[in-house]
Amino acid sequence: MTKTDLLANLLAKKEWMFFETKRILKEPSKLLETVVAFANTEWGALVLGVEDPDKAQWEARLMGISENPTHYAEFLRLLHINIRPVITGLQKVEIPFNNKWKEDKIVAIFVDKSNEIHSLVTGDTRIRTENWNKKIWSEEIIRLKYEKWSLKFEDEITKIDSLEDFDLEMRGKFKSSLDIKETNDWQILKDNGLAHKKDNKRYLKQSWALLFAKNPSITLWWKYGIKVSHYFGTKENFSWEPNFVKRPFTIEWPLFSQIEKAISYFKEIVRNAPPKLKWAGFSSSILIPDRVFQEVITNAVIHRNYAIQNDIQVRIFDDRVEVESPWAYPWHITPANIQHERFSRNPVIVRTLNRFDSAPNLDIWEWVNRIFKIMKQHNLYEPYYVPNSIKRHSVLVVLFNMQKIEYRDSINNYLKKNITITNQKAREITWINDTLKMTRYLKSWVEKWLLLSTGEKRHTTYRKPGNEWEWLLFSDPLKIENKTHEKEL
């Protein structure tokens, strides 16, 4: 890759949520605001030595670090002393160019998503919104703490000091599963992290209300259920005649019951789905195995962010099932590492559900790998975890109700080695000669968030979501391993 190509790629990018350019004339303290905002939100790249795109065009934007080397040195120094706590793992890429017959450079600072909340020494805390840095105050900081797990919603103590709202069926199942001689309900709950004694009074925790209250949504006056919407076809119809198979409904009750009822409804759909001819006989037109849906809905219930007031959304279409949980992926978890990393946002809920005899969760940290393997065994597409760059405030899992198609695999394999693909290249590797037919395929995958469209109408390119850093710097057919000049700060 030439430095000319690299510069051209950067200058072609618009400022947005994950990308910003700044001249080094800016006060170093102002530049730190962007670094803090990126770390507190998702990730981002701050490119120094480049004019804003609305003030100059193309090469005229290249100002370089030499415009004020003192400011640049001060910026690097303040990165370690003016941000609390210090942001670790910052990376920089230096890109040289000729500036008015002399050597100069611009510098890209890459910031990873942090599991901590960072503020400037002035007390300012910022997050990234669209293409600007928004200052947040106490209420939003608390919300951010829940997201980053600085605060645990399940551990908070309620004002409930009575067991009158105890769901007797759940109580009986739990005590039977524990197989203990202890008969005092309060002691059992305290021993399992579900109750707390304070000032000689006993109080129940939020985790108890979610797991054992007759209806957590009523007890806590919040939305803690599962909303199921079942559609005919592959799209929502927003006309006067919605395309619902049945009226959308909400599953409430304790979390264990929510999971059971959601699984039961899915199994009912599979049983009643119209048969489809396959090989020498007929089978259900719903190809997604029950076990896969159980794993996904269980994970949504036990790992969702309960500090956010919203139900889990289950949307069922002919060609897919979508399960969407409130707020973002916890801590360091991303769609790219979700099969290999482990994290529990609600460990008390996970542990308690696992103690039931008929536990919906095995609690062995293998559930993601298992559903990938099961889908593969049935020749179905692997579950798709939509990146937060597309669905910022939720975790969306898509289960495709369709057998694998060879040409889609060819395009997917190509994009594992290359950043973008064009219609022409897609036709070359799939042997599909019809341009319009390939366009329809590519657009359908964009609609399902499997691809992102990155170009103009006549020069459209497509890429996989979730590889924003590489796309930011490189374009097809350049490979990621060509990235150079990278240093850790």
What are the beta bridge partners of residue 166? Answer: 213
Q: What is the CA radius of gyration of the chain?
A: 26
Cβ neighbours of residue 285 closer than 8 Å, sequence gap 6 or more: 273, 274, 275, 276, 318, 401
Instruction: Residue 175: name the closest of 157, 163, 160 by CA.
Output: 163
Spacing of C-alpha 389 from chain mean position? 8
Q: Where are the beta strands (DSSP E) in 268-333?
A: 275-278, 281-284, 312-316, 320-326
CB 170 within 8 A of CB 358: no
Which residues of 177-243 form beta strands (DSSP E)? Answer: 195-198, 201-204, 226-231
- Give the domain ranges of the chain: 3-147, 153-167+177-214, 226-400, 406-488
Task: Tally the C-alpha atoms within 13 A of residue 433's C-alpha that lie toward its C-beta.
Answer: 0
**CA–CA separation, 66 and 25 (whole Å):** 10
| Rounded-to-integer distance, Cα 219 and Cα 346, Å | 19
| 457: confidence class by pLDDT, cuts 50, 70, 90 | low
> 3-147 and 226-400: same fold?
no
Q: CB atoms < 10 A from the CB of 440, how many?
A: 11
DSSP string, 124-191: --EEEETTEEEE--HHHHHHHHHHTTSS-GGG-B-S----TTB-HHHHHHHHHHHT-----HHHHHHH
What is the model's pLDDT at position 486? 45
Q: CATH for 226-400?
A: 3.30.565.60
Q: Which residues pair with 19 in a beta bridge?
A: 16, 45
Listed ranges 43-47, 52-56, 234-238; the one with the highest mean pLDDT: 43-47
488 band by pLDDT with thresholds 50, 70 and 90:
very low
Q: Which two tokens stand for residue 252?
A: 């409430």
CATH class, domain 406-488, is mainly alpha
Q: Is 433 exposed, middle or buried (0-12, 13-18, 19+ CB in 10 A)?
A: exposed
For 374-393, write each residue's pLDDT tens digit: 998 999 998 999 987 788 77
| 3-state SS class at 84 | strand
Whole-number Å distance between alpha carbons of 108 and 22: 10
Q: Is 450 exposed, middle or buried (0-12, 13-18, 19+ CB in 10 A)?
A: buried
- Confirm if 31 and 25 have CB atoms less than 8 A apart: no
For the chain, what percent of residues have pLDDT higher than 90? Answer: 45
Q: What is the mean pLDDT of residues 114-137?
A: 91
| Spatial distance between the Cα atoms of 432 and 291, rounded to a whole number of angstroms | 36
**42 three-state secondary structure:** coil
pLDDT the model gives residue 474 = 53
**pLDDT reading at 2 higher than 90:** no
Question: Tell me: the pLDDT tens digits for 401-432?
Answer: 988 887 888 898 888 888 889 999 999 998 89
Q: Max alpha carbon distance in the chain (Å)?
A: 85
Rounded Cα distance, 23 and 51, in Å: 5
Mean pLDDT (the chain) is 85
pLDDT of residue 472: 63
Work out the angle at residue 69's Cα, subtended by the Cα atoms of residues 65 and 70, and round it to the nearest 5 degrees. 145
Cα-based distances in Å from 71 to 109, 219, 459, 487: 15, 55, 39, 19
| Among 188, 235, 193, CA closest to 210 | 193
Taking the C-alpha atoms of residue 124 and residue 111, their distance in angstroms, rounded to an integer, is 18
Confidence of residue 164 (pLDDT cuts 50, 70, 90): very high
Minimum mean pLDDT range among 50-59, 249-258, 431-440? 50-59
Separation CA 458–CA 468 (nearest Å): 22
3-147: CATH, from 3.30.450, 3.90.10, 3.30.950, 3.30.70: 3.30.950
The DSSP call for residue 14 is P
- pLDDT, residue 298, reads 93
